[in-house]
């Protein structure tokens, strides 16, 4: 088992657990400025390498759009056509990109805490998702969307619904939302809910939540199958039209996507007025612009300090 290493390069973004609340709120404020068209520009415009060893649409494309809007060049890495197919390690791949001049690496990988082995890199590593571990930029865009809707977090009741034990999104969000003053509960199949969190039934969750955060059933991470049909899951644990009508006035629906329409949510509710699903995707671009700016701004000074 890999031993967790401290993040000695302050411009890495591995998990939100390594950031204090003030720094998180600063990133959200910067994302807001970018959405308003007022965000700062980068003096230097290095190339950023996007290394995705697992499939992705929203995270990968969102990072690419963020990079383009910041004027950055993008090095598009394909794991299927790289030396990883010849047995090259992630560390050697990352060192290669560092050596040829990449200014930062955005990495999604199936291994939890893959980033521990990259701590010695002089360029920032931004975690685009590590196995069932963490997804910090998804969590940041979720926080941005919640703050944009409610103006803050303290006192909100957030309910995370679905395949929580296999979700890096849930792990990141539950931890940071509690730190920011929200009350967090979980719902869904009891076998998918961590015992450390407050569990409430789905019908109660819909009545009480300010934010109902739905999750996809991650069949690819189940070793023995999920054990239920799509129809049975939707009836027992999905957001049906009946349940949506019982939600509080002003409450919102969120989902990190991809969405299984008719499973965790009725297809007609994906774009209902209380849904923020596509707003989350839009906000992902501004949030990732903020993350990239934080990682790359004043990088020359950071490198100089490390060399001394």
59 marked as part of a ligand binding site: yes
288 marked as part of a ligand binding site: no
138 marked as part of a ligand binding site: yes
305 vs 17: CA distance, rounded Å? 25
Nearest-CA neighbor of 276 among 249, 248, 257?
Answer: 257
Backbone angles phi, psi at 83, to 5 degrees: -70, -5
Write out the E strands in 176-217: 183-187, 198-199, 211-214
Token pair, residue 150, equals: 């409610």
45 marked as part of a ligand binding site: no
Backbone angles phi, psi at 62, to 5 degrees: -65, -45
88 vs 249: CA distance, rounded Å? 53
125 vs 103: CA distance, rounded Å? 10
35 marked as part of a ligand binding site: no
Token pair, residue 265, equals: 């949510």
239: which DSSP letter? Answer: B
218 marked as part of a ligand binding site: no
33 marked as part of a ligand binding site: no
135 marked as part of a ligand binding site: yes
58 marked as part of a ligand binding site: yes
Q: Calculate the alpha carbon distances from 169 to 136, 140, 152 in Å.
A: 8, 10, 20
243 marked as part of a ligand binding site: no
Token pair, residue 60, equals: 């990968």
Annotated binding site: 58-59, 86, 108, 135, 138, 168, 216, 257-258
Annotated binding site for L-aspartate: 86, 168, 216
Annotated binding site for carbamoyl phosphate: 58-59, 108, 135, 138, 257-258
């Amino acid at each position: 088992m890999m031993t967790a290493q401290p993040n000695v390069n302050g411009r890495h973004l591995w998990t939100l657990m390594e950031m204090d609340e003030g720094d998180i709120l600063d990133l959200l404020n910067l994302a807001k400025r970018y959405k308003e068209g007022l965000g700062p520009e980068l003096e230097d415009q290095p190339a950023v390498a996007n290394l995705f060893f697992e499939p992705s649409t929203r995270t990968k494309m969102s990072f690419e759009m963020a990079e383009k809007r910041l004027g950055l060049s993008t090095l598009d890495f394909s794991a299927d056509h790289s030396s990883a197919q010849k047995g090259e390690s992630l560390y050697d791949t990352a060192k290669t990109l560092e050596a040829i001049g990449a200014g930062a690496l955005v990495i999604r990988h199936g291994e939890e805490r893959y980033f521990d082995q990259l701590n010695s890199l002089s360029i920032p590593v931004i975690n685009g998702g590590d196995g069932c571990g963490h997804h910090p930029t998804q969590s940041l865009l979720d926080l941005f969307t919640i703050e944009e809707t409610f103006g803050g977090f303290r006192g909100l009741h957030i309910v995370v619904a679905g395949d929580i034990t296999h979700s890096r999104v849930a792990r990141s969000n539950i931890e940071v939302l509690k730190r920011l003053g929200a009350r967090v509960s979980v719902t869904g199949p009891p076998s998918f809910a961590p015992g450390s969190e407050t569990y409430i039934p789905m019908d109660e969750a819909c009545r009480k939540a300010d934010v109902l955060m739905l999750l996809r059933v991650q069949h690819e991470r189940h070793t023995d199958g999920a054990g239920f049909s799509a129809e049975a899951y939707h009836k027992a644990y999905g957001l049906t039209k009946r349940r949506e009508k019982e939600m509080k006035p002003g409450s919102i629906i969120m989902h990190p996507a991809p969405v299984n329409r008719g499973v965790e949510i009725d297809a007609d509710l994906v774009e209902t007025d209380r849904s923020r699903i596509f707003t989350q995707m839009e906000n992902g671009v501004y949030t990732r612009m903020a993350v990239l700016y934080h990682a790359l701004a004043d990088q020359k000074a950071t490198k100089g300090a490390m060399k001394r």
